[in-house]
Amino acid sequence: MSVSELAARLERPFSGDGDVAIDGVASLESAGPGDLGYVRSSAFASRARASAAAALVAPPDIDVGDRPVIRSEQPGFDFVRATRLLHPSAAVAAGIASSASVAPDASVDPTASIGPGCAIGARARVGAHTLLHANVTVYDDAEIGADCVIHSGCVLREATRVGARVLLQPGVMLGGDGFAYVAGVGGTIEKVPQMGRVVVDDDVEIGANTTVDRGALGDTRIRRGAKIDNLVQIGHGCDVGEDVLIIAQAGLSGSTVVEKGAIVMAQAGVVGHLTIGERAVVGPQCGVHKDVPARVRVLGSPQREGRLQQKIVAALPRLPDLLRRVRAIEKRLAPGGGGDGNG
């Protein structure tokens, strides 16, 4: 589409030749004629001027050279929107593959697409325009809403609920049993029955090989707009709030509450029955052993307030020299050590 049409659909102003045609997107370095690029900030201005991109999305008042430019206060966000306009998702080819197994009493919308090797259990439901790639397993009584994309190898255990416009990357497991055991007589270990469900709200995305355990009694909940990366473990009974981000290899123990807009970064581990407050940030590899207040940033293991942890880390390289100096002082102050012994 033309620059002027693209700007209109983004509802952003533009300058330059609005008739320039855009048919793709690319980085500043690899862009060529017909490509749209974007400029994050003034730090990228020189790269933008050297780019061969036909047009750019850029913040106001940044000189990007003699070419059409769509102006945006959030260029990265609007570049993503432009990408979706220029490269819309392919329409789902409705139908059920001959090798799929669908229970007689399951409900599959006529506009849904069920790929080869899928298995859909009794009383399960698949919504309109939803795409199940090959070898997806949907247990009895599970429900998937409209316009979802479920990639190969995903498993949705019994009674799992998935809302609309949910994206599950390959290998996601929803509704597996939580890790819950009690010690019995003589030290025997008894498994705690997991009677709850997993409920995933609308517009959630979950990365490859992530697991979300079903609740022991109540539900495990992933709320609207949450984005969960690859290889994440969500324990039974957790409540992940709206627009939460959880990054790769993080783990939430059972009954953890992550409130709206919080971020849990890579390889962080959270002890169960804790609350991570609204818009709090848990740093990478952080060991969280107590509640994190809203809008507080914690780092380190065990967790510490972010600025304190940064000071501790900055001090660590100075410890060897500090220890050497302390030992020298102790030696001088010791009886017979060359000092007066009186401190």
CB 81 within 8 A of CB 97: no
Q: Write down the pLDDT at residue 340.
A: 56
Q: Which residues are catalytic?
A: 236
Angle between helices 3-10 and 75-86 (to 10 degrees): 120
Tokens representing 147 are 């316009």
Using only the alpha carbons of the chain, give its radius of gyration: 27
Burial level of 97, CB count in 10 A (0-12/13-18/19+)? middle
pLDDT tens readout for residues 243-274? 999 999 999 999 999 999 999 999 999 999 99
Q: Using CA atoms, how far apart are residues 56 and 75, in angstroms rounded to an integer?
A: 9
Q: Write down the pLDDT at residue 92.
A: 80
Helix (H, G, I), strand (E, B) or coil at 276: strand
Q: Write down the pLDDT at residue 170.
A: 98
DSSP letter (8 states) at residue 178: P
Q: Domain limits of the chain? A: 3-86, 95-292, 303-343
3-86: CATH homologous superfamily?
MurE/MurF, N-terminal domain (3.40.1390.10)
Q: How many CB atoms lie within 10 A of CB 5?
A: 14
CB 196 within 8 A of CB 236: yes
Q: What own/partner pairs with CB < 8 Å and gap ≥ 24 does 290-297 have?
A: 292/262, 294/259
Name the architecture of domain 95-292: 3 Solenoid (2.160)
Q: Which residues of the chain have pLDDT under 50?
A: 341, 343
Q: Write down the pLDDT at residue 338.
A: 63
Helix (H, G, I), strand (E, B) or coil at 267: coil
